Amino acid sequence: MASQKIAILSVWDKTGLLDLAKGLEKHGVRLLASGGTAKMLRESNFAVEDISAITKAPEMLAGRVKTLHPAVHAGILARNQESDEKDLADQKIDKVDYVICNLYPFQSTVAKIGVTIPEAVEEIDIGGVTLIRAAAKNHARVTIVSDVEDYPSFLNELDDNNGSVSEPVRQKFALKAFEHTADYDTAISGFFRSRWASDGVQQVSLRYGTNPHQKPAAAYVSGGNLPFKVLCGSPGYVNLLDALNSWPLVKELSAALDYPAAASFKHVSPAGAAIGVPLNDVERKVYMVDDIAGIETSGLAQAYARARGADRMSSFGDMIALSHEVDTPTAKIISREVSDGVIAPGYTAEALEILRKKKGGKYLVLQMDPEYDPPATETRSVFGITLSQHRNDAQISPQSSFSTTITPKDASLPDPAVRDLTVATIALKFTQSNSVCYALNGQIIGLGAGQQSRIHCTRLAGDKADNWFMRFHERALNLKWKKGTKRPDKSNAIDMLCSGVIPKSGIEKEDYEKNFEEVPTPFTAEEREAWLSELKGVAVSSDAFFPFIDNVFRAARSGVKYIAAPTGSQNDQACFDTAEQLGIIFVEQPLRLFHH
C-alpha cells in the first residue's frame, strides 16, 4: 500500500483552490481531483490526477457520476484496523487522508426568480455530499475541509504538525461538514416542499410574517402532517403564534380542572383565560352575553364569556382558543365580537356555519388535533442564531403544585383558591415574562405581561383586576346608551369610566359623552375605594419569585387572599412576613415559568 498521503479535491467554489493545492504539494500530498477541479489545477501546472486514476472508470452521465466508486469511498471510510487493511490490500485500494469538497450552488440557484424544477434538480449534489459525509464520519482518521474559509487554518495545521492534522481540528471540521450537508438538505427539502407539499397538509402558506413586508412566510412540519386544519380564512404568522400558544393553555386548563376552558389571546400572551364556571345574572350582563340563548347549558360558552369579558379592551381582535367542540352558543358570542380567529378540536355543523359567515367568509377557523404531542425539543432562530431547549412540559396540577403553604404554617387552601391558583399559574406558563396573574371565579381578572420589573407586572395586573371589579358597580351596570352605540365603543367607554380616566374637556370629552343618553357621573376616589374594598378572595400567581414586599402590598389592595410564587429571593422572608401580617396565605409554587 502507498505511504504517500492522498487528498481528493472536488469543489464547485474554486476560491483559494490554487493556494490550497500549493500547500498540499509542499507536504508531498498526492492530488486526485474530479471534473473542473482537475482541469483548473492541471492548467496551473499542478501534478494532479483524475479520480479515474484510482477508479479505473471514466466520468459518465455528463458528470453526474465521478466519485461514486468503492476505490474512492473505501479509501475514505477505511479505519486503522487489521480487517480494513486486508480488504484494501485485496482490492489494491489506497487510504485517502484529506477530502476537500464543497457543493453545487443549490441555494443560490433556487433563489432566482422563475427557477424551474429541472434547473433545481441539476444543482442537487450527490457525489459531493457523499464525499463530505463519508470523510466526516471517519474523522478519526480523515480530514474533511468543506469551507473555503478554512483553507488557511488547514494549511497552518499541516505546517505545524509535519503534514498531519490534530484530532480537535479534525473534529471541528467534521462538525462543520455535517452542518453543511444538513443545511444543504434543508434547502432542498424546503424548495420541493414549496412545490409539492399539499398546502394545509404538511405546510400552510401564510399571508405574511410578523409584519406585512415580511414575505414569504409559511408554517410546516418536517415530517408527517400539520396537527391543525384551516377550515376557513387564511392564517398569518402572528395568528399561528397566538393559536399555538393558546391551544396548549386551554388544553392544560381543562385537563387540570375538568372543565371546558377558553382563552382570549393577543400578541403571544393571554388577555383572558377561564374555565366554564357557571355565570350568574350579573356576570352575564357585565360580559355582554345576557342575550345569548343556551349559554346556561354550555360550559364552553361560559368559559369564553369569562375569558373575553375579563379585559375587553385587550381582547379586541383576539385569537380564541377553546378546549372542546365549539357549540352554537359559543359561536354566537364569537360572531359578534371583533376577533381574528379561533382554534378548537372541533365544531358542530351549526357553529361552523355561523363562524364561516364572519368577516365576509374570511374569519380564520382552525381545527386542532387534540391528540397532537409536540417533540420534546423545540428550536427557534433569532438573528440567524438557532436556539434549542427542552419544551416546557411541566405539569401544573391542583393536587401537587400548591401543596406547600409557607405562611401561615397551619393554613389550608379552600377548593376555590386552589382552582383559581391553578388557572392563574397555567396562564402564566403561556404568558410573556415577566408576568403576574390575578384570578377569581375560575378566570383571569388581571394579567400583567412582559414587564421588565416585577412590581410593574403586579401593578398592571392589579389595575386590570380593579377595573374588572368596578364594572360590577351598579353605575357601570346601568348605563344609558345612545341607540346604535357599537359594542367596541361601549367597551371603551366602560373602561374609561371604571379606570377613572374620563377626559376633562375638548373633543375627547365629546367623543366619550356621545355614547350616552345620560352621561354617567364619574366615580369619586371615595366611591372607588369603598367599592374595591368589597373585592375579596383573589388568587395571585407569579412566574418567578417576588423580590420585594411592594408586590405583596399592591396585591393586597386588590383583594388578594392567596399568593403562589417560586421561592429563592434573598428577600423571601420579608415577603412571607408581610403576607402574614396582611392576612394573605403564601404558597410555594415550585416552578419558575418564564416564557419568551
Catalytic residue numbers read: 137, 267
Q: Which fold has domain 396-473+523-588?
A: Cytidine Deaminase; domain 2 (3.40.140)
Helices (H) and strands (E) in the chain, counts: 24, 23
Q: How far apart are CA 566 and CA 316, in angstroms?
A: 32
Q: What is the separation of C-alpha 333 from the centre of its chain, rounded to a whole number of angstroms?
A: 29
Give the Å distances, CA to CA, from 257 to 144, 207, 455.
56, 37, 29
At residue 1, the pLDDT reads 46
The H-assigned helical ranges of 471-532 are: 474-477, 487-499, 506-513, 525-532
Is residue 447 within 8 Å of residue 464, measured between CB atoms? yes
- Indicate the class that CATH gives domain 6-195: alpha beta
As beta bridge partners, residue 546 has none
Would 230-368 and 396-473+523-588 be classified into the same CATH topology?
Answer: yes
Q: How far apart are CA 413 and CA 402, in angstroms?
A: 9
Q: Are strands 261-266 and 269-275 parallel, antiparallel or unpaired?
A: antiparallel
Collapsing DSSP to helix, strand or coil, 134 comes out as helix
* pLDDT (tens digit per residue) in 360-389: 999 999 999 999 999 999 999 999 998 999
Q: How far apart are CA 310 and CA 290, in angstroms?
A: 15
Q: How far apart are CA 295 and CA 515, in angstroms?
A: 28
At residue 565, the pLDDT reads 97
At residue 244, the pLDDT reads 97
At residue 66, the pLDDT reads 81
At residue 410, the pLDDT reads 82
Q: Which fold has domain 230-368?
A: Cytidine Deaminase; domain 2 (3.40.140)
All structural domains of the chain with their residue ranges = 6-195, 230-368, 396-473+523-588
Q: How far apart are CA 56 and CA 231, in angstroms?
A: 60
- Residue 245 phi/psi, 5-degree rounding, is -95, -35
Collapsing DSSP to helix, strand or coil, 390 comes out as strand
Secondary structure element (H or E) that encloses residue 518, with its range: strand 516-518
Is residue 462 within 8 Å of residue 535, measured between CB atoms? no
At residue 123, the pLDDT reads 86
Instruction: Using 50 as the pLDDT threshold, list the residues of the chain that sit under it.
Output: 1
The C-alpha cell that represents 230 in the structure block: 384551516
Q: How many CA atoms lie within 13 A of 105 on its CB side?
A: 7
As beta bridge partners, residue 564 has 541, 587
At residue 2, the pLDDT reads 52
At residue 374, the pLDDT reads 94
At residue 58, the pLDDT reads 83
Of 458, 482, 479, 465, give the one whose Cα is nearest residue 547: 458
* pLDDT (tens digit per residue) in 131-147: 999 999 999 999 999 99
**pTM for the structure as a whole:** 0.88
